Amino acid sequence: MAVVEALMTKLMIVVGSVRPGRVGLPIAKWVEEIARANSEFEIDFADLAEINLPFMDEPGHPAARQYTKPHTIAWSERVDAADAFIFVTPEYNHSFSPALKNAMDFLKQEWDNKPIGFVSYGASAAGTRGVAALDSVLGFMGMRKVGPSVDISAVWTRVADDKFLAEEREVETLNAQLAQLKSYSELFASVR
Ligand SMILES: Cc1cc2nc3c(=O)[nH]c(=O)nc-3n(C[C@H](O)[C@H](O)[C@H](O)COP(=O)(O)O)c2cc1C
């Protein structure tokens, strides 16, 4: 059992919106369901609304890892343990979710040399401008964007009774992204 667990990729699914009534939660639950059906992943479901980080409030630069707050230490340990990430995120005003950016800002090395995939959603641009706005942040953090992204447009038509109504092509795209996250997490583990 321990050997099997050691071979599993520790995947953190981050719910990037924190508003009451957010569609991000049912979409992230769908991502979790597909990922859990894949025996190669051990999942950490990181709901930023539950984690409830304040605005970044550490006196030191995160690169020094001299954290002073229990919430930072807990978040650092969780992100450090992850081998790969999927960010489930909206775009707000053609840019990234501030809760997601804030959660990234708390840490530095914990993100470094780890692959990330995106499931984004919104109106016509499907949240892709929010993902594009994160590009320079990912670059600085040393995160490597991999796999095809799942881009969900007209998102308000896609959730009913708190459930995301996935199309077959979205399931296929997510599975392709998971396969890449697995491969790249192994590659980057050798670099870390
Ligand atoms: C503050 C705010 C800004 C938004 N800006 C955009 C936008 O730039 N592009 C877009 O496609 N949708 C935008 N929307 C609509 C969101 O795509 C839609 O409300 C979505 O449900 C937000 O995700 P959430 O429910 O998980 O928070 C915006 C919504 C909010 C609340």
Q: Residue 14 pLDDT > 60, yes or no?
A: yes
Ligand 1 binding pocket includes 81 (Cβ within 6 Å):
no
Identify whether the C-beta of residue 28 lies closer than 8 Å to the C-beta of residue 121. no
Ligand 1 binding pocket includes 154 (Cβ within 6 Å):
no
- Quote the ligand 1 centre to 99 CA distance (angstroms): 13
| Minimum-distance ligand 1 atom for the alpha carbon of 124 | 11
Ligand 1 binding pocket includes 24 (Cβ within 6 Å):
yes
pLDDT confidence tier of residue 65, bands split at 50, 70 and 90: very high
**Domains of the chain by start residue, with CATH:** 9-191 (3.40.50.360)
57-66, 140-149, 161-170, 183-192: range with lowest mean pLDDT: 183-192
**pLDDT (0 to 100) of residue 162:** 95
For residue range 91-136, list pLDDT tens digits in order.
999 999 999 999 999 999 999 999 999 999 999 999 999 999 999 9
Identify whether the C-beta of residue 117 lies closer than 8 Å to the C-beta of residue 85. yes
What would the mean pLDDT of 163-181 be, rounded to a whole number?
Answer: 98
Probe ligand 1: pick from 92, 152, 164, max atoms within 8 Å of CB?
92
Phi, psi of 15 (to 5 degrees): -90, 110
Q: Which residue has the tokens 């491969």?
A: 183
Probe ligand 1: pick from 121, 151, 155, 158, max atoms within 8 Å of CB?
155
**pLDDT (0 to 100) of residue 192:** 84
Probe ligand 1: pick from 48, 88, 91, max atoms within 8 Å of CB?
91
Q: How many CA atoms lie within 13 A of 63 on its CB side?
A: 3
**Global pTM?**
0.96
**Sign of torsion over alpha carbons 48, 51, 55, 59:** negative
**pLDDT (0 to 100) of residue 66:** 98
What would the mean pLDDT of 76-81 be, rounded to a whole number?
Answer: 98
pLDDT confidence tier of residue 41, bands split at 50, 70 and 90: very high
Q: Radius of gyration over alpha carbons of the chain, in Å?
A: 16
Q: Residue 82 pLDDT > 60, yes or no?
A: yes
| Minimum-distance ligand 1 atom for the alpha carbon of 16 | 26
